[in-house]
A = this chain, B = another copy of it.
């Protein structure tokens, strides 16, 4: 966009700060950036002039003149955020301040391979852009999350265990044919962590986001930044061992938490309970639908089914046991639990907490808070938007 092709590093820093504050008053900005009020005022004025910023009403007053807030201007264009899960696809067109203009969520199967899935992504992008009257030329950045390890620099998937046909596939190259905007790709759990970090306006410096679905992954925020590790595989906690005598995982080792406590394990235990006659309720579900989902187990638990309760507690305990190791090592201030399966009832979170508090050291858990992800099922999509905007801003100039 011609609007911002000649930004100074000071201007870029100001835009970053405004984006990460979800809008801010001139007074806040002066304080956060350590600039004088007059310097901040004149910077903001010139960025308002060229159309990079816009005024957005009044912030809460603390007495005296009420400060007007500024935010990134809608005139900059739009962002596309996409959150691809193992079995779902969530896509949105967002304003630069991450408010949603159009959104679509639907079932998807990543095992179908990049040809099928990305063709659908492309169609949805076009439809949603049309829905909000925007063109491909107005897109300023694209962020996408995928359920596998990503080499962040190249944007390519690396040996993704849940996405067998995607190894070395370049989402960036694929979308480049249609969009001039830069494309950024990251692991879905990293994007959940990035989304929560943005929502918290960086008020927490060291926390974890756990996603339990078909697999189990962890997003890490360290020193106020998403930490991706030496090869982009940090947070790959699904293959941490929780039972040295446990069943064999597809990775070749015994007792990985993912093979014992993720979605497929819950389904397997529920089938056993249905077939053995342990649970009449789950047997009825099986007879009715021919299959049992983790959601059915949650439903049965809410009806007081003892087998369903046992399965949920067992699963929560195993995940908590894995997290106890991680908490001892990382000493985060918060652990946020997300992913559809974790909402299968209050017993789940209680079991995770019990297991962590029992197995972690007192010092690590004295102030530790364990909650569901505040952004719930939106965390990944918000994170995709943050990635798109943040990396696009970075590419426009040097940052602080």
Report A's interface with B, CB cutoff 8 A. 149, 158-159, 205-206, 218, 220, 222-223, 225, 227-237, 239-244, 251, 253, 321-322, 324-326, 328-333, 358-364, 366-368
Q: Within the assembled complex, what's the spacing in Å between the Cα atoms of A352 and B332?
A: 27
The 6 closest A-B pairs by CB, nearest first: A229-B331, A230-B333, A234-B331, A233-B363, A240-B325, A233-B331
Q: Which residues of B contact A231 (CB under 8 A)?
A: 331, 363-364, 366-367
User: A222-B227, A333-B230, A358-B253 are known contacts. Are A158 and B363 too (CB-CB below 8 A)?
Assistant: yes
Chain B residues with Cβ under 8 A from A324's Cβ?
Answer: 240-241
**Which of these, B232, B236, B243, B362, contacts A328 with CB under 8 Å?**
B236
A139 CB to nearest B CB, Å: 31
The residue from B229, B328, B358 contacting A330, defined by CB atoms under 8 A apart: B229
- A10 CB to closest chain B CB (Å) equals 15
> What are the residues of chain B within 8 A of A362 when measuring CB–CB?
159
A244 to chain B minimum Cβ distance, whole angstroms, is 6
Query: Nearest Cβ distance between residue A35 and chain B, in whole angstroms?
Result: 15
In the complex, the count of this chain's copies comes to: 2
- Further contacts, 7 of them, CB under 8 A, given A222-B223, A325-B326: A236-B328, A236-B364, A237-B329, A239-B361, A241-B324, A253-B358, A322-B325
Contact A253 B359 (CB under 8 A): yes
- Closest chain B residue to A359, Cβ basis: B253
Of chain B, the residue at the smallest CB distance from A363 is: B233
A330: B residues at CB distance < 8 A: 220, 229, 234, 329-330
Of all chain B residues, the one with the shortest Cβ separation from A322 is B325
- Residues of chain B lying within 8 A (CB to CB) of residue A235: 329, 331
Q: Which residues of B contact A237 (CB under 8 A)?
A: 328-329
Counting chain B CB atoms within 10 Å of each CB, the highest count among A236, A241, A244, A328 belongs to A328
Q: Which residues of B contact A331 (CB under 8 A)?
A: 228-236
Chain B's closest residue to A205 (CB) is B230
Least Cβ distance of A297 to chain B in Å?
24
> A66 to chain B: closest CB distance in Å?
33
Complexed CA–CA distance, A360 and B364 (Å): 24
Q: How far is the CA of A332 from the CA of B329 in the complex (A)?
A: 13
Contacts of A360 in B (CB 8 A): 239
Q: A321 vs B322: C-alpha distance in the bound complex, in angstroms? A: 13
Residue of B nearest to A243 (CB): B244
